[in-house]
Structure 1
Amino acid sequence: MEEDQAWDTHGLLPLERQLHQAARQNHIERMKELMEKRVNVRARNHVGRVALHWAAGTGHEQAVRLLLEHEAAVDDEDSFGMNALLLSAWFGHLRVLQVLVNAGAKTHCENKDGLTLLHCAAQKGHVPVLAFIMEDLEDVALDQADKLGRTAFHRAAERGQLDALDFLVGSGCDHSVKDKEGNTALHLAAGRGHAAVLQRLVDIGLDLEERNVEGLTALHSAAEGTHADCVQLLLRAGSNVNALTQKKLSCLHYAALGGSEVVFRALLHAGGCPNVADHRGASPLHLATRHNFPALVQLLIAAHSDLDAMDSRQQTPLHLAAEHGCQDIAEMLLVAGVDLNLRDKQGKTALAVAARGSHVGLVDMIIKADRFYRWEKDHLSCRDPCQPPGKGVTFKQDHRPDTQPLRTLLWRLASRRLRPQEWKRLADSWGFTEAHVSAIEQQWTGPRSYQEHGHRMLLVWLHGVVLAGEDPSKALFEGLADIGRRDLAESIRKKGDTQPRAPRSCTAM
């Protein structure tokens, strides 16, 4: 229901507009004055609202009685299909609802969305109204579905109304019923992030692995909505973290989207306006800042999610993070130890996907990770068996003070001293693959792009050298000598030792 839109008084004459206002504010004397002037009590505004709707929706019993005494039609509906009885249930005004029932209002009514009295009261959490409906009205269909196939039980779960949910359970509602999209109450509560309701549904015994028509379990719904508390709750209850949807999406796939999918949908809903709220009152900006995707990814990784699960496009979670440029999430996946050789249906690795999207920082992170994995594999024999692979590693850009002198040297080397093709020769000497070089070259900025390419390659190289606990100055000298630039190597060495003091170790920092 659009209350702001409904309150607009377009389509009313001046006295009719005043009657609507008086009914909404319970100004009884003014209403009587207007009625003495024979104002039309059934006058409708542009969305079909009459004065009785306002009096009922705002809970003004006196105004309701006065309008009924002056022949207001008790069952008049507005353009949303809402009548006074439904409005009183929606807003929880029990006394008004009782007055309307005694005045002969039809109790078996529904609005254009198929919402009954029970739906309206349940989704707003009005337990006294629910009790009156169930105990005092005849032939109430407890499990009647609305146009979406949702019962009052669904609506209470979807809106997080725990007391209403408990009342309906106590009244004997069907716990396992699905809506037209195959959602159980568990899906709806998880998708909206209602942890208390979700816990109650788990305690009741709803099937954790029940799937909707798209193959989503409640855990998928919680992950898609990025509700980490609900994800954790469902995992503790025994939900399968590696269940796949019809499109073969795992929970980690949803989390790896990094918010881009959720925000994109919200932007579409709001017509591209970042401050326009959706039907739940959340703007795209709210969604972008509220959802903690990295925390969710970390939670799913810790729960032993399949890091390399492939969806229907053969994309892994890392492919999705690379496609959308989600660096924080990508790094978590890289540190956890994903397979970087997997290819999607287009034959592209995550590195190629990141390069295609011009996600430069992410490209460099993936290359660092690939080189680290290769180095780690060669040094398995001297790694501490009690230390998990990759623990303490970061693949983000280095901003540490102790490496600053060498990073400055590498920038000068790339921008002033190396010839156009020499960075590639260095890369080959240091074990960079053709795919690494190609991904770096993907970002072309002009005839002097080689300077930027060379600088990026040198920083990636430095990351690996420092992780290995090697001497960067010595390795740089040997690399330059290997490509025939011993003159350059000697000139750098004469300027002094700039190596960062990293501990020598065959484990990560």
Structure 2
Amino acid sequence: MHLEHLARTIHDIVRENNVKDLELIVGRGASVNDIDIQNDDKFTPLHWASHAGSLECMHWLLWQSANMDAPTPKGWTPAHIAAIRGHDACVQALINNNVNINTRDRRNQTCLHMACSHGNSFVVHTLLRGGADLNYQDVNGWTPVFTAAYHGRLGCLQMLVKWGAKLSDVDNEGNTPAHLAAMEGHLPCLKFIISVTRDIPALLGARNDQGDTPKSLAEQFFKESCCKYLDALEWEQDHPEQAENLAFPAHVAAYNGDLEHVKLLIEQGVVNINERDEHGATLAHKAAGQGHLEILQWLIENGATIDLTSESGETPKDVARRYGQLACLKILGGGAEKGDGTQHGHANDSKRSSEHKRLTPKEEERRRAKTKLDDLLKQIDIAKKNFRQLGGHLDEDEQREALEKETHKKFHDYDRQLEYVRVEREKLQAELDECRKEIIHLTNILRSYEDRTVYVQQRPPSRTRSHKTKKTSSVVNKPRRVEKQTGVVFVRRNSLNS
């Protein structure tokens, strides 16, 4: 066992991700750039760390200034290996140490080509964020988007297009990405390319240097699924009057995102929830392709069948995947700075200009101290990133989290205070409304009293006296009538009560 332990090389230790043994063997004289002669690819320890995903060993080797640009006989650097293997954390560690991610191998392929050819979309996103160039061509004239289309890597293709890759470019033989996807029978990639292309007839009619269109290449290599799809697409282009059939209003509403119209047609029994159009597509197909999440969710909640296929053999999930509608895909069950070079260029120019100036000994000392400080700060920043990559939390991270919690608590307290003030304001508003009602009521009473007072004051006095005189005469006449009838004389007495 002791002999076997001694026989282990630095490459074996890196593959095992054993940092302690790595420190020991380097302390005994092993080089961090030692080439593995037993391997045909002539890997260095950093290549093996990228191959095995030994992140901690990679960090340690980078601290020891291991060569990040060491090529293999095929021209592969550690960044190429990490991109091939899909080790996103290793790619990020190399980017943190300012590796040149646009280095080319013997076939002029960059790390982005490698990640696209192996379908590592997370690595593609990391490389794009790190400044990888979308337009570098290999020996075939392929940019990374050609590589993704040729190998059928739909996720990588969507990522590249999102970052501005051009689908109209041609390679050395005049092929477009659509030619390569059709030739290899990658129907999802072909559908995606067509879906994001404005001039579909020009895309379908594009010919390479041999005069082949995407459809003719699919026919030559017996890709039946692509042939059927392209035939249907050409028929729609040749018959535009029938491409949108108004006999299916629910499909048109689902395509346009009109949820209320879809509800109305289905709830009133005008259409069936699983109705198909002339191409066999259901409402779910239309909603999924356009990313109308509310319509799709409503259809599923009301019992729509999401496993039905159209004439091209696609389910709603396939349509959502083709158009890159990730939210719809999740519901259906399917399951990213440039400019560093410019900054460095300006920095180098400033250094050169400063070197031409004659500095005093004191200024040279300050300059050396400042350079050393900048180097240490850069190493500290790299060390912090490495520590976070390994799942660690720094004191400043905890302080930031504590500050965020305190800020959130203050916002919560302010919300509660605002809610209390809102309730009090509503109470005061209600009291104010009651007071206004009481004021209006009292104002009406006062006005009615004033109206009666004015009426009484404005009555003519003559009418009052004549009324009293008539009343008195009527009273006096009554005894006279009694006198005539009975013959008895009544004498009226004047008193205080009368």
Q: TM-score, length-normalised on structure 1?
A: 0.45
Question: Which structure has the highest helix share of the two?
Answer: 2
Structure index of larger Rg:
2
Q: TM-score, length-normalised on structure 2?
A: 0.45
